[in-house]
Chains A and B, each alone.
Chain A
Amino acid sequence: GEDVEQSLFLSVREGDSSVINCTYTDSSSTYLYWYKQEPGAGLQLLTYIFSNMDMKQDQRLTVLLNKKDKHLSLRIADTQTGDSAIYFCAEYGGSGTYKYIFGTGTRLKVLA
């Protein structure tokens, strides 16, 4: 079946690292994504990783993929108050599905 799960809340102090975790079930997923949603706005793509990669780094963001355990994580280094938002992981549902499956979202709160 298709399911993407995330914890609902995460609170960190400014300057610390944040790690947001996600598990998915569809082993045929070729691409996995992290999107960010700020209040009153739609989602914006932060980064994505192809399923044959283990890690991808983009400035303060590091994505780790454990394909065996179907586990994806997003690490934000030096977390700032502006990083407070909801973070969604998503998988592309496989070739020919034309469907992206999103998780429940993790609300990150950064404390000053």
Chain B
Amino acid sequence: KAGVTQTPRYLIKTRGQQVTLSCSPISGHRSVSWYQQTPGQGLQFLFEYFSETQRNKGNFPGRFSGRQFSNSRSEMNVSTLELGDSALYLCASSLEGTGGEKLFFGSGTQLSVL
């Protein structure tokens, strides 16, 4: 069974640009969540999707958005990039997204904003 796949692995952008990151969950998993990881801040929750619906959202500005497709693949978009958006973006999938489930993480997309 293939794991969670995130593309691209690395990305370099400049301030003001926008970026789209992709996540393909494990086959059969319907919940996809996104996290931002920065040194000293740990993982900050961005949002969670299930069956194409956003069920929860973290405390990030509206520049951060996401969506999920009917095949459960998900994308997140960051518009008007700022230097502080440089981070590792991780996505995780699980069957239903409820407590007690194991989250399966991708290797992440390392975004650098210059």
Contacts and interface: CB of A to CB of B under 8 A. Distances in A.
B41 A31 contact: no
Interface residues of B, number: 27
Interface string B23-50: 0000000010101000011111100101
B103 A45 contact: yes
A43 B103 contact: yes
Nearest to A30: B99
Of listed B43, B58, B106, residue having the most chain A CB within 10 A: B43
B100 A99 contact: no
Contact of B99 (A4, A31, A43, A105): A31
Nearest to A6: B42
Contacts of A100: 33, 45, 92, 103
Interface residues of A, number: 28
Contact of A43 (B41, B56, B90, B97): B90
Contacts of A31: 99-100
B55 interface: yes
Contacts of A102: 35, 42-45
A45 B102 contact: yes
B100 A92 contact: yes
A42 B4 contact: yes
Contacts of B48: 98-99
A102 to B, nearest CB: 4
Contacts of A40: 107
Given A30-B99, A40-B107, A50-B100, A98 B56 contact: yes
Interface of B: 4, 31, 33, 35, 40-45, 48, 50, 55-56, 58, 90, 92, 97-100, 102-103, 105-108
Interface of A: 4, 6, 8, 30-31, 35, 40-45, 48, 50, 88, 90, 92, 94-95, 97-105
